[in-house]
């Protein structure tokens, strides 16, 4: 140890610390995701029905040209 090398217990302590930090980060992320889901659920309107789609009208953009009309 006097020559600057680390013992096996020092490396295992570092590994243990990394494992603890990984676990804490994973738990924190899970908690934040749960909070975000709860906020999104509260922001959702009371009605569970999907809003009606607007009626499609034919325009030049989707294939209708003013010269295509039948008279």
- In angstroms and rounded to an integer, the radius of gyration of the C-alpha atoms of the chain is 31
In a domain, 58, yes or no: no
Model confidence pTM above 0.75: no
The tokens of 33 are what? 């995701």
In a domain, 22, yes or no: yes
pLDDT in tens, 44-65: 766 656 666 776 666 666 665 5
Residue 7 or 9, more confident: 9
In a domain, 53, yes or no: no
The total number of structural domains that make up the chain: 1
In a domain, 25, yes or no: yes
Q: In which domain, by residue range, is 36 found?
A: 10-44
In a domain, 38, yes or no: yes
Determine the average pLDDT of the residues in 6-27.
Answer: 87
Q: Identify the pLDDT of residue 24.
A: 98
In a domain, 37, yes or no: yes
In a domain, 55, yes or no: no
Determine the average pLDDT of the residues in 17-23.
Answer: 96
């Amino acid at each position: 140890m006097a020559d600057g090398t680390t013992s096996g217990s020092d490396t295992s302590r570092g590994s243990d610390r990394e494992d603890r930090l990984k676990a804490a980060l994973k738990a924190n992320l899970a908690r934040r995701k749960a909070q975000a889901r709860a906020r999104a659920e509260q922001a959702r309107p009371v009605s569970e029905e999907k809003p009606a789609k607007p009626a499609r009208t034919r325009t030049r953009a989707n294939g209708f040209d003013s010269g295509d009309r039948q008279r």
